[in-house]
Amino acid sequence: MLTLEGLTVRQGGFELRADFSVRAGAMTAVIGPSGAGKSTLLSAIAGFIRPSAGRVLWQGEDLGPLLPGERPATVIFQDNNLFPHLSAFSNVALGLRPSLKLGPAEGAAVEAALARVGLAGLEGRKPAALSGGQQSRVALARVLVRARPLLLLDEPFAALGPALRAEMLDLVAELARDTQATVLMVTHDPADAEQVAEQVTFVDGGQALAPVPTGQLLAEPPEALRAYLGQRKTRP
């Protein structure tokens, strides 16, 4: 279980509070207006920002003293998920060994992960020689080899077209099931949430609300969420 215990994060004049838990293995979408602090919430969990109060706990263990790389989490950013000077293979391998010194078994695991995301044969390519979708797949292959229990995605496929994005989200859902990961995914599109997330936490006014089942929230959105969703007609 991921627990945000009286968490307060301050950045400049901005403050975000969160106080809730997420069940292990759940897939939670984080939505809200831009500037509401969705990414800030993820950064605090990932360890990039030090909270001014409260704690982040995973299975009861305080993550506070851990560096980002030591936390039981894999992060996928909006962009810059790959090092442009390294091949697809090396970019995935970094998830296992930051030194890139792999044993034979580890090398095989990297190749298997790339094959699993449909990139068999493209191991040697650098990001510039891969399409946008393929680049995302490399980042996802790294999720596989890291096999960390937490997966944090920060609007990961915003640059992709709708069809490709839907495909990627499905792949994420599959991988999460395979690895039994607990997923937090920031998105600005409620459709993403509807597609893959079982529950949604809504961030607005400096507050991240406890997650609510997706269907329920979108069917009867609270006032603030209605304003965010605008004229969009929610499906029953």
Q: In 10 A of CB 159, how many CB atoms? A: 13
d(CA 217, CA 228): 13
Q: Closest CB to another protein among 69 and 230?
A: 69
Are 149 and 72 spatial neighbours (Cβ–Cβ below 8 Å)? yes
Examine residue 14 and tell whether it contacts another protein (CB under 8 A): no
Q: Smallest distance from the beta carbon of 6 to another protein, in angstroms?
A: 19
Q: Closest CB to another protein among 93 and 209?
A: 93
Joined together, the tokens standing for residue 128 give 């510039």
Q: What is the C-alpha end-to-end distance of the chain, expressed in Å?
A: 30
Kindly tell me which residue out of 12, 98, 104, 236 binds another protein, with binding defined by CB under 8 A. 98
Are 88 and 42 spatial neighbours (Cβ–Cβ below 8 Å)? no
Q: Identify the residue whose tokens are 């509807």.
A: 194
Examine residue 13 and tell whether it contacts another protein (CB under 8 A): no
Examine residue 70 and tell whether it contacts another protein (CB under 8 A): yes
Joined together, the tokens standing for residue 65 give 């003293």
Kindly tell me which residue out of 32, 37, 54, 95 binds another protein, with binding defined by CB under 8 A. 95
**Rule CB under 8 A: which of 196-235 touch another protein?**
none
Q: Closest CB to another protein among 14 and 48?
A: 48
Q: Smallest distance from the beta carbon of 50 to another protein, in angstroms?
A: 7
Grouping H, G, I as helix, E, B as strand and the rest as coil, residue 23 is: coil
Joined together, the tokens standing for residue 117 give 């995301």
Q: Which segment (74-82, 155-163, 170-178, 213-221) binds another protein by CB under 8 A?
A: 74-82
Kindly tell me which residue out of 34, 52, 61, 68 binds another protein, with binding defined by CB under 8 A. 68
Are 186 and 158 spatial neighbours (Cβ–Cβ below 8 Å)? no
d(CA 103, CA 119): 21
Q: Smallest distance from the beta carbon of 215 to another protein, in angstroms?
A: 32
Binding site for another protein (CB under 8 A): 46-48, 50, 64-70, 73-75, 77, 80-81, 83-86, 90, 94-95, 98-100, 126, 128
